[in-house]
A and B are shown apart, each in its own frame.
Chain A
Amino acid sequence: GENVEQHPSTLSVQEGDSAVIKCTYSDSASNYFPWYKQELGKRPQLIIDIRSNVGEKKDQRIAVTLNKTAKHFSLHITETQPEDSAVYFCAALGSGTYKYIFGTGTRLKVLA
């Protein structure tokens, strides 16, 4: 069945350093890959997304890259700040369905 693996499960970085979170998906027909940030006790919020016809997308300090051949995509956060501390989830949307499969999450801690 469909599966999305996410690594690492926890990540600690010093303020100002970069953070990278990686996801691998199983359904080669997946065509949309969002990333969500979830702060403690709050709802997931979309921070960036990418479609399968694009290899990279950037929005200020956040970027996502997609490698369709390898079936993996990554979130890159540069110049991390304490307010970036949260749990980040990747997800994949299959073609022909509107069912999203989520990764297990990465707890990012940015140390001041």
Chain B
Amino acid sequence: DTGVSQDPRHKITKRGQNVTFRCDPISEHNRLYWYRQTLGQGPEFLTYFQNEAQLEKSRLLSDRFSAERPKGSFSTLEIQRTEQGDSAMYLCASSSKVGLAGSFEQFFGPGTRLTVL
């Protein structure tokens, strides 16, 4: 499968625990995005990377959230001291290098559904 993959697909945790999600983008893509999606809403931007550099992070993002992309390939999203309000689908997406004729298209992974009890 050459698409974006995410692991795990489902995570159930107790309030206060830490969780970490992984995203593997399409191999030649240099941009990687994390979104959060709750029922009935559109994907909410969390952060994005260009190669290993984290270029933008949502101002709404609590300092309990951190993301890394150490080698410019896969990325991890960690949530510390989870709260019930963190329950959502966490989507990862990647996109290719953009040139004058490049594509802006994002390809989404299947998501990780987090349930905080």
Near B by CB (< 8 A), chain A positions 41-58 give 42-46, 49
Asked whether any CB of chain A lies closer than 8 Å to the CB of B48, the reply is yes
Q: How far is the CA of A22 from the CA of B51 in the complex (A)?
A: 34
- Decide if A43 touches B42 in the complex (CB within 8 Å): no
Known: A99-B45, A101-B45, A102-B45; 9 extra A-B contacts, CB below 8 A, are A32-B104, A42-B110, A44-B108, A89-B43, A98-B31, A98-B55, A98-B98, A102-B35, A104-B42
In the complex formed, the residue of A with least CB distance to B40 is: A105
1/0 per residue, CB under 8 A from B, across A57-99: the answer is: 0000000000000000000000000000000010101000111
Question: Across the interface, which residues of B come within 8 angstroms of A46, CB to CB?
Answer: 105-107
Chain A contact residues, majority secondary structure: strand
* Chain B residues near A (Cβ < 8 Å): 31, 33, 35, 40-45, 48, 50, 55-56, 91, 95, 98, 104-111
Number of A-B contacts (CB under 8 A): 53
A contacts with B, residue count (CB < 8 A) = 21
Q: How far is the CA of A93 from the CA of B110 in the complex (A)?
A: 22
In the complex formed, the residue of B with least CB distance to A97 is: B56
Question: Across the interface, which residues of A come within 8 angstroms of B105, CB to CB?
Answer: 34, 46, 49
